[in-house]
Amino acid sequence: MTRKPQVNVGVVIVSHSSKVAEGAADMVRQMVGEAVPLAFTGGNADGGLGTDVAAILAAIDRAWTPAGVVILVDLGGAETNSEMAVEMLDEARRGRVSVCNAPIVEGAVIAATEASGGSPLEMVKRMAEELSPQ
């Protein structure tokens, strides 16, 4: 029996703070291991608190897999900037990247756990979003 090589959905963490983003990524790594491509970004172009579309695009690129990428964000601007970044991707990738409506730390851990089992993009997103109040 031949088995398709497993390609897991990647996870990107976007916070206003590079420390929050890095800390959330540390937790994902410790709890889920190396099975999931993971990238994080935090802070604006000047190194202050904020988010940066160019840095988000670079993080999507680092976490990219053909299975797609989910993005976990913290506050308002991180979401808006992430959605902007997704729209700026080339057409082939745009439909495979999804911003999750979920708390950043818990969402990243759940998404990565789900992704590590080989779940498709839609399922990874849905599991993370179950954490949000409906």
- List active site positions: 16
Q: How many residues in the shown chain lie near other proteins by CB under 8 A?
A: 18
Please pick, from the candidates 22, 83, 106, 129, the single residue that binds other proteins as defined by CB under 8 A. 83
Instruction: Name the residue type at position 26.
Output: D
Nearer to other proteins, 48 or 95 (CB): 48
Q: List the interface residues with other proteins, window 23-82 (CB under 8 A).
A: 44-46, 48-54, 75-77, 80-81
Stated length of the chain: 134
Nearer to other proteins, 43 or 68 (CB): 43
Does 94 contact other proteins by CB under 8 A? no
Compute the CA torsion angle 95, 107, 101, 90 (nearest 10 deg).
-20
Would you state the structure tokens that stand for residue 111, as one six-digit string? 């998404």
CB of 111 to other proteins, least distance (A): 22
Compute the CA torsion angle 51, 128, 94, 89 (nearest 10 deg).
20
Q: Give the containing element (helix H, strand E) for 13.
A: strand 10-15
Q: Which positions touch other proteins (CB under 8 A)?
A: 44-46, 48-54, 75-77, 80-81, 83-84, 88
